[in-house]
Amino acid sequence: MLAAPPAADLALPVEPAEAVESVTLAGWLSDGVGLDGFWALAVAAAVHAFVLLNLFGVLPAVFIWVERKWSARLQDRLGPTRVGGRFGWLQALADGLKLIQKEDLVPDAADGLLFRASLYVPAISVLMAFTLLPFNDRWVAVASDCGLFLILAVLSLEVVGVVLGGYTSGSKWSLLGGMREAAQMVSYEIPLALTALVPVIAAGSLSLREIGVFQAGWMFPNWLVFANPFCAAAFLCYFTVAIAECKRAPFDLAEAESELVAGYFTEYASFRWSMFMLAEYASMFVVSLIATLLFLGGWWTGIAPLDAALTGLNDWRPDVGVEGFGVGGYLANVLFAGVVCLKASLLVTVQVWVRWSLPRLRIDQVMATCLKYLTPIACVLLLGATLWPLGLLATLGRPTVFGSTFSASPSPLGGAIVEQDSALPNGDGEAGEALR
C-alpha cells in the first residue's frame, strides 16, 4: 500500500471489504492475478473511479428524462415518446448527441480562456462531492470523519464557476445572472450548513457513514427526522435551502428565462452548455442524497427485520473461486446502495414537482426568504436541537423520548458513539485491522 494519507488518496476502493478475512479488489489483483503492489492499487482505483464517474454521468441523464416526462404530465402533455421506444427513455442520450454536434461558440466580447475554463468548476465540485458520499456501510470513495463538512465545502466551489462563467461571457444577461447567483448562493450557504448541523447534533458525528449507521432499525423513531421536533423542521428547512442551492425553481433567479434569456449560461452553447446541466442535475442528486443520509435513514429500509435479513446476507459466502470474496456481502452492499439511491431519487422527483408547480420568486423575495426567515429559523432549530436532549435528561432522565434501541453508549447530546473497536472496515480492508 502506498504511504499516502487517505484523505488525499482518491484511490480508496469503493468495493466492499468484508469484516473477516476480507479481500479488496487491489488485494485480489496482487495475490490472485499477480500484479505488482502499486499497479494492483492503480488498476483497482481506476476501476472504482470509472464506476463512480459513470454514476455521475448516468444519473443526470435519468433525471433529465424524469424531468421532461413528468413536467409534461403535469402540464397535460405527453413529453418525449419516440426515442428509445415507448416512453422516450433514451431522450437524454439523444439530447447529448445533438448538443455535441453543435458549433462550439465563444463570443468576441468574452474572455476566451476563462469562458472555456469556468464551466468545469461546477462539474468538478459536484464530482468531488460524489467521492465523499457513502452509498452504504462500506462503499465510500473517500472516508473522512468530517465528511459532511467536506461535502459542504466542495459544493460551495460550484458558485465560483457559475459566477466567473457569467462574468467572463461579456454579456449583460450573463452578468446579471452571475450577480444574482453570487448573492443568492453566498446567502443560502448559511442556512444550509446550520440546518445540516441539526441532525449532526442528534447523531453526534460529522461522518456521514456514522450518521447512517446510527439510524439502523425501525424507521420510527430511529430515523433522524423523527429524533426530535427540531430535526423534523430542519428537514423541511434543509430541503427548501437545498432547492435554492441547486438554483432550481422557485429560486432559479440566476437563469430566469423570462427576464435574463438563460442567465449566466446565455452565451454557452453545445457541449459546454451541457456541462452546466450535468452539474445541476448531479448536484440535485447530491443534496438529495445528503438529505437521505442526514434525515431519512441513509441506506436502511426502515423495516428492522428486512434490514436484518439484508445484513444477514453477509454470512452467505458460496465458493466462487476468489479467496475471501463474499457474494452475499456484495449483494447486500448493492441492495443497500440501491435503497439509498432510490430514496435520493424520490427526493429529486420532489424537486422536479416543486419546480413545475410553484411560480418564481423575485430576487428581493429570494433574499428576504433567506435572510429574514430561513437563517433565523435555522438558528432557532440549532439552539433547540442542542437544548432538547438536555431538557429531556433533566425531566425524563434519558436523552430521547422513545428510548434508544441501540444505546450502547449514548453521548450526553443523545447520540450513540459508534464503537470504534467493532469491525468497521470503511472502504478498505486494512482499515478494520488498523483500528483494532
Binding positions for another protein, rule: CB under 8 A: 1-9, 12, 109-111, 113-114, 117-118, 121, 143-146, 149-150, 152-154, 156-157, 159-160, 163-164, 167-168, 170, 175, 178-179, 182-183, 185-186, 189, 206-207, 209, 424-428, 430-431, 434-435
Distance between CA atoms of residues 291 and 236, nearest Å:
10
Question: Is-contact 163 322, C-beta < 8 A?
Answer: no
Kindly tell me which of 7 and 346 has the beta carbon lying closer to another protein: 7
Distance between CA atoms of residues 140 and 412, nearest Å:
29
Q: Shortest gap between Cβ of 393 and another protein (angstroms)? A: 19
Q: Shortest gap between Cβ of 122 and another protein (angstroms)? A: 12
Question: Is-contact 191 234, C-beta < 8 A?
Answer: no
Which amino acid is it at 91? Q
Q: What does the DSSP 8-state code read for residue 11?
A: T
Question: Is-contact 397 211, C-beta < 8 A?
Answer: no
Question: Is-contact 64 92, C-beta < 8 A?
Answer: yes
**Which whole-number Å values give the CA distances from 187 to 110, 181, 283, 379, in the listed order?**
28, 10, 18, 14
Q: In this structure, what is the dihedral angle of CA atoms 387, 392, 395, 397, given to the nearest 10 degrees?
A: -130
Q: Shortest gap between Cβ of 251 and another protein (angstroms)? A: 17
Distance between CA atoms of residues 336 and 332, nearest Å:
6
Q: Shortest gap between Cβ of 378 and another protein (angstroms)? A: 16
Q: Shortest gap between Cβ of 143 and another protein (angstroms)? A: 5
Kindly tell me which of 67 and 428 has the beta carbon lying closer to another protein: 428
Helix/strand/coil for 411: coil
Kindly tell me which of 145 and 219 has the beta carbon lying closer to another protein: 145
Kindly tell me which of 206 and 219 has the beta carbon lying closer to another protein: 206
Distance between CA atoms of residues 297 and 346, nearest Å:
14
Q: Shortest gap between Cβ of 70 and another protein (angstroms)? A: 32
Kindly tell me which of 10 and 219 has the beta carbon lying closer to another protein: 10
**Which whole-number Å values give the CA distances from 7 to 2, 197, 394, in the listed order?**
13, 22, 40
Kindly report the number of other CB atoms within 10 A of residue 258's CB atom: 6
Question: Is-contact 213 418, C-beta < 8 A?
Answer: yes
Q: Shortest gap between Cβ of 416 and another protein (angstroms)? A: 16
Kindly tell me which of 47 and 117 has the beta carbon lying closer to another protein: 117
Kindly report the number of other CB atoms within 10 A of residue 265's CB atom: 25
Distance between CA atoms of residues 103 and 259, nearest Å:
25
Kindly tell me which of 40 and 164 has the beta carbon lying closer to another protein: 164
Q: Shortest gap between Cβ of 240 and another protein (angstroms)? A: 20
Q: What does the DSSP 8-state code read for residue 416?
A: B
Residue count (the chain): 436
Q: Shortest gap between Cβ of 185 and another protein (angstroms)? A: 7
Cell of 16: 466492499
Kindly tell me which of 46 and 109 has the beta carbon lying closer to another protein: 109
Kindly tell me which of 207 and 369 has the beta carbon lying closer to another protein: 207
Kindly tell me which of 28 and 115 has the beta carbon lying closer to another protein: 115
Kindly tell me which of 48 and 209 has the beta carbon lying closer to another protein: 209
Distance between CA atoms of residues 142 and 430, nearest Å:
15
Question: Is-contact 52 335, C-beta < 8 A?
Answer: no
Q: Shortest gap between Cβ of 220 and another protein (angstroms)? A: 29
Q: Shortest gap between Cβ of 328 and another protein (angstroms)? A: 22
In the numeric block, the cell 468548476 is attached to 121
Phi, psi of 306 (to 5 degrees): -65, -45
